A and B are shown apart, each in its own frame.
Chain A
């Protein structure tokens, strides 16, 4: 295997990593502040992908589709918060898991009714569809570079908002003592709705960027959601820094494992055995990583501290 292939797969891993981070960031904020486990977070990923695809076709402009898709996911998130999720803050985690599981069924079926069960394929606009020559001989798709840039940009923006603005101060205060924040005259309900909608929009962003790379179909959100849970467990649930570090680790391990585990195994054991064991092991790799991290640090790599 050559170095260019490794570099390319490393970038792919980075791209998956930032996507996982966008998902994990919203979940982490919601969990850290409202103490809510939202299993329907994957649904926002799917909603973002579908809305962006729909609006891009309706308006004929990809950028407009992205903007409307993002705004649409935000609205869906706010509505879900106001109608259902708001009633769950005071409930235990079991109730939250079950109720949001019901939401998943609803959203998946709604998508199937509106757009069918078959996968939709979306196109990248021409100005993003080329390749960039990073090094002489190393060409990489521009679109994936854009995803990496957007993801890292959002991570930086998120850090700035949480650590350096008044809103972020309220968010951190709400996470550590909600009663006190409310007593100081902050409308905590509006803050919650805002944070939830914002988290949904982040998931929508990940979904609409994923649309052209993977496929858009009902249930697409849950597959990535479970990987995001792995990210959160490894990073330490409730920790944004942990989520970022773990998302990049998981993205790398998953991508590199799928690309290189089989050829590497083939050098050790027989190629036919590697053919059988390679893919199986590669798909289990991040879960084994999770088990290993838990065995050493049950609270994750970066125990929660927003």
Chain B
């Protein structure tokens, strides 16, 4: 038990920044990422069957991705008032481009949220976390080839989802 706690603490020291960055990228809000980070470590501590986990870092990243998308799903269900809308994390300065940029990022995150777990994990680790295929394969317990196929399928699915969304928007505009 003590060893596991030590491992979790080591994980926090080693991958804390990376996990926080991942959560910020997926939620686009630093305050929410902070909360989810805390929740993640409480969950990790209280997880039953700790001895079964071999790769703590992979497990934590997977849990962080799930937490972030659970939060996004809850956000879709609850209506936010304008006062509660926080500024999205972005490096752009012009208000219009900032708005467009934030909208684009929200759109693609929504589309990622519609993917299945494996595809989502592979896509995020590859394209958002910028990890090499071999590392992802090791973390997911698959071959690099399988991960590549998952990413390919995920991108295709995103193309479909975002394309259909755009078509609907154009139809509404034409009317």
Real binding pair: no
B residues engaging A (CB < 8 A)?
Answer: none
